């Protein structure tokens, strides 16, 4: 156990850690039991060793994402939900995150990821404490990433995280140009990126990633090349290179509307992207997804889970949890349907819960409503659940043991087929036909015969003996192709 200041995280602030909010032992109602024989005691291949690094692994298992919705200041391009950390009682939120996590105590997660917002905006002790708790929920050897703002790391924090079990850091570098960092509204300098990567190395991390943004308003190809070269100089294992998108509600979006700034020309965006793929490839960072590049074996397993459409649980305001893969024809991961991640005691989403459906009601009738979402039984159907982003209502709900306000999006078998295909195709490896069949019970070549044929003829898709994937020319225009996989024809 890592040592940390126990005043930051007190065990007795979690009275229900062992007996979750509902006060119920893990159990499922008789109906649910018939539908999902293992719903209460799920096995998710959690015991499978993950320590060995395969090339482009097909992750198996359930990912855990913890969202820290605080930032020191809001970046101008960022569309994620976050609030300024100043004056916030962050400890209360961290408590709630842990309590929400407790609701999933049947699951051993195969990857962990603390992101935000800026996790590093939290006081060091709180972040370390959070990491400790998360680490306990991961299988041995699991990848465990924490997002770091380069301006917000110091030796104690990185050391504490490492000891807590964090084995991967992802730095939101974005750019190495002072002017671009200023424009983006990042709170750090280029020098901070270099020093924090050095520091991470010294502390002992050997799996580091950098995020970069290209196609910034007013930037040239040379500007971008400079940032990429600077990132490569740092010798990190992983780079995510994102083309800037103008997210609704951001300062950038408003500025673009008012004409204060404008998006770069499509051709320049394309040139930057093409060059990135080439340059990073030369440097040994292989492109494994539209925007992600890594040394072989250093791909982000957690994110690979998303693109493999594996189940994941999102904790915290605004976080999304997936149904994962639902067996369409009895194949696939047993009971990896939504009910797997169904938190006990919080099973009734706000939209269907009335005031009686809190702890008391469940205690009274002893029935866990875990298989009924929005009044719909979930056998054979899945759902994606997204916590409402608003912090106050989240905290109040968790502290009172009430259902967390969340949106439930049903995901039916057809949706699952399409989502799996679209997500898979973002990977350079594409759709692994055998895995796809195992997950969905369907043959991808047959299900998507139309678009596959059409784009094969255009040289935008290739079919190899075991896989279907986008060709290199298809990557910059992937959406125009993936849209044909977004719904069945």
Partner 1 sequence: MDIQHIRNFSIVAHIDHGKSTLADRMLELTGTITAREAKDQILDSMDIERERGITIKASGVTMEYERDGETYMLNLIDTPGHVDFHYEVSRALTACEGALLVVDASQGIQAQTLANAYVATEAGAEILGVINKVDLPAAQPELVAEEIEHVLGIRRNECFRISAKTGLGVKDLLDAVCDLLPPPADRRHEPARALIYDSHYDDYRGVICYVRVFSGTLKVRQKIRLMGEGSAYQVTELGKFRPDMRPVDELGTGEVGYVIANIRNLGDVHIGDTITDDARPAPDALRGYKPPMQMVFSDFYPGNNTEYPRLRAAFERLALNDASFSFIPQNSQALGFGFRCGFLGLLHMEIIQERLERENDIDVVQTAPTVSYEILLSDGTAKRIDSPSELPDRTQVQEIREPFVRLEIITTTDTIGGVMKLAESRRCKLVKTDYLSPTRVLFEYRAPLSEIVYDFYDQIKGISHGYATMDYEFTGFEAGDLVKIDILVNHTPVEALSLIVHRSNAEARGRKLIIKLRRSIPRHQFEIPLQVAIGGKIIARETIKAYRKDVTAKLYGGDVTRKMKVLKRQKEGKKRMKSIGSVEIPQEAFMSVLDTSD
Radius of gyration of the chain (CA): 22
285 is a contact residue toward partner 1 (CB under 8 A): no
For 412, which DSSP code? Answer: -
Nearest Cα to 26, choosing from 363, 344, 349? 344
Residue among 467, 461, 416, 464 at smallest CA distance from 441: 416
- Calpha distance 41→340 (Å, rounded): 9
For strands 292-294 and 238-243, give the pairing: antiparallel
Quick check: 2 binds partner 1 (CB under 8 A)?
A: no
Only one of the segments 11-19, 69-77, 174-182, 468-476 lies at the binding site for partner 1 (rule: CB under 8 A); that segment is: 468-476
- Using the minimum distance from each CB to partner 1, give the nearer residue, 127 or 423: 423
Tell the smallest beta-carbon distance from residue 307 to partner 1 (Å). Answer: 8
Cβ closest to partner 1, residue 195 vs residue 386: 386
- Residues numbered 368 to 387 that lie near partner 1 (CB under 8 A) are 384, 386
Tokens of 334: 């047993």
Select from 426, 409, 413 the least CA-distant residue to 307: 426
Binding mask 44-63 for partner 1 (x = CB under 8 A): -------------------x
Does 458 engage in binding with partner 1 (CB under 8 A)?
yes
Q: 3-class DSSP state for residue 212? A: strand
Q: Kindly tell me which residue out of 53, 76, 270, 367 binds partner 1, with binding defined by CB under 8 A.
A: 270
| Binding flag, residue 487, partner 1 (CB under 8 A) | yes
Q: Which stretch binds partner 1 (CB under 8 A): 120-128, 136-144, 373-381, 451-459?
A: 451-459
In the complex, the smallest distance separating the C-beta of residue 477 from partner 1, rounded to whole angstroms, is 4
Which range binds partner 1 by CB under 8 A, 183-191, 231-239, 269-277, 396-404?
269-277
Establish if 319 lies at the interface with partner 1 (CB under 8 A).
yes
Q: Does 244 bind partner 1 (CB under 8 A)?
A: yes
Per rule CB under 8 A, is residue 168 in the interface with partner 1?
A: no
Per-residue buried b or exposed e for 463-484, using 16+ beta carbons within 10 Å of the residue's own CB: beeebbbbeeebbbeeeebbeb
Q: Closest Cα partner for 148 from 166, 122, 170?
A: 170
Half-sphere exposure of 452 (CA within 13 A, CB side): 19
Which one of residues 108, 299, 415, 432 is an interface residue with partner 1 (CB under 8 A)? 415
- Residue 422 makes contact with partner 1 by CB under 8 A: yes
- The neighbour count for residue 86, using CB atoms within 10 Å, is 10
Going by their DSSP bridges, the two strands 467-470 and 431-432 should be labelled as: antiparallel
Q: For partner 1, which residue of 290, 395, 398, 431 counts as binding (CB under 8 A)?
A: 290
* Single residue of 17, 43, 454, 456 touching partner 1 by CB under 8 A: 454
Number of H helices, E strands in the chain: 18, 19
Residues that bind partner 1 (CB under 8 A): 63, 65, 242-245, 266-267, 269-270, 273, 290-291, 303, 306-307, 312, 314, 318-322, 384, 386, 409, 415, 418-419, 422-423, 426, 454-455, 457-458, 460, 474-487
């Amino acid at each position: 156990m890592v040592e940390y200041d126990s005043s930051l995280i007190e065990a007795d602030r979690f009275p229900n850690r062992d007996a979750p909010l509902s006060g119920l032992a893990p159990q499922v109602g008789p109906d649910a039991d018939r539908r999902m024989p293992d719903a209460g005691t799920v096995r998710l291949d959690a015991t499978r060793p993950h320590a060995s690094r395969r090339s482009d692994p097909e992750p198996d298992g359930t990912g855990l994402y913890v969202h820290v919705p605080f930032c020191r200041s809001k970046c101008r391009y960022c569309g994620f939900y976050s609030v300024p950390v100043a004056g916030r009682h962050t400890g209360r939120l961290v408590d709630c995150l842990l309590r929400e996590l407790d609701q999933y105590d049947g699951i051993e997660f195969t990857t962990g990821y603390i992101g935000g917002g800026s996790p590093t905006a939290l006081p060091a002790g709180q972040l370390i404490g959070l990491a400790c708790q998360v680490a306990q929920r991961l299988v041995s050897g699991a990848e465990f990433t924490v997002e770091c703002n380069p301006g917000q790391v110091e030796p104690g924090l990185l050391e504490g995280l490492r000891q807590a079990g964090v084995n991967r850091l992802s730095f939101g570098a974005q750019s190495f140009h002072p002017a671009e960092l200023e424009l983006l509204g990042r709170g750090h300098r280029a020098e901070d990126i270099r020093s924090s990567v050095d520091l991470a190395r010294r502390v002992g991390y050997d799996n580091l990633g950098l995020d970069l943004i290209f196609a910034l308003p007013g930037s040239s190809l040379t500007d971008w090349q400079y940032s990429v070269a600077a990132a490569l100089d740092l010798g990190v294992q992983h780079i995510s290179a994102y083309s800037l998108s103008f997210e609704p509600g951001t300062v950038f979006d408003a500025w673009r509307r008012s004409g204060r700034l404008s998006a770069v020309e499509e051709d320049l965006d394309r040139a930057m992207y093409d060059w990135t793929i080439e340059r990073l490839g030369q440097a040994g960072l292989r492109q494994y997804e539209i925007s992600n590049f890594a040394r072989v074996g250093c791909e982000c397993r957690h994110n690979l889970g998303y693109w493999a459409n594996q189940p994941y649980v999102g904790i915290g305001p605004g976080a999304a949890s997936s149904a994962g893969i639902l067996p369409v024809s009895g194949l696939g991961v047993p009971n990896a349907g939504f009910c797997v991640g169904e938190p006990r005691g919080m099973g009734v989403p706000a939209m269907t819960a009335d005031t009686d459906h809190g702890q008391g009601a469940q205690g009274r009738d002893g029935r866990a409503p875990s298989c009924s979402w929005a009044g719909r039984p979930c056998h054979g159907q899945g759902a994606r659940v997204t916590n409402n982003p608003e912090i106050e209502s989240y905290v109040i709900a968790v502290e009172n043991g009430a259902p967390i306000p969340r949106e439930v999006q049903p995901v039916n078998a057809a949706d699952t087929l399409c989502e799996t295909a679209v997500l898979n195709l973002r990977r350079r490896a594409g759709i692994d036909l055998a895995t796809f069949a195992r997950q969905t019970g369907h043959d991808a070549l047959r299900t998507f015969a139309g678009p596959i044929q059409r784009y094969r003829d255009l040289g935008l898709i290739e079919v190899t003996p075991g896989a279907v994937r986008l060709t290199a020319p298809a990557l910059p225009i992937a959406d125009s192709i993936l849209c044909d996989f977004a719904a069945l024809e």
